[in-house]
Amino acid sequence: MSVFIVKLFKGKIPKISFQKAKEKILGKKYELEIIFAAPKLMKNLNKAYRGKSGSTNVLSFSLNKEMGELFLDLNEIKKEAIEAGIEYGAYFLRIFIHGLLHLKGFDHGRRMVLKEKNFFKLFESDAKKYNSRDRHRI
């Protein structure tokens, strides 16, 4: 199936292989919609679905076994990457993988962290390519 990208704000989307990562983690039949949302929308969704105030970097919504949505706030991801001293492309990739694993059914914990690390190693070259090309154009 496909990956659909919806951009609801102005900003630069990292050039990583969304389709390849989706297929490896969720399978080829899984249909994924990736929504790059403005901070205000992310705050509203975070409050409505998690009962938490403030923004968040990613929200995952599983619609059924073969379909889901990821909402990503690139402003929040960029801010967190800077605070952590991590390259933006690498941090974005980690957050994207994190969201996919939630769609796969993982909850926060040791198993999820291990899976994140393993999948990050598979796609790390995508993040490195992005960082070397676009480091100053986030």
CATH number of residue 22's parent domain:
3.40.390.30
Could you tell me which residues are annotated as the binding site?
Answer: 98, 102, 108
Find the domain containing 99 and state its range: 3-134
Q: What is the pLDDT of residue 106?
A: 93
Instruction: Count CB atoms within 10 A of the CB of residue 69.
Output: 18
Q: What are the pLDDT digits (tens) for 32-79?
A: 999 999 999 999 999 999 999 988 999 999 999 999 999 999 999 999
Q: How many domains does the chain have?
A: 1
Could you tell me which residues are annotated as the binding site for Zn(2+)?
Answer: 98, 102, 108
Do residues 38 and 9 make contact, with C-beta atoms less than 8 angstroms apart? yes
Q: What is the pLDDT of residue 135?
A: 45
Three-point CA angle 77, 15, 17, nearest 5°: 105
What is the pTM (predicted TM-score) of this model? Answer: 0.87
Q: What is the pLDDT of residue 129?
A: 58
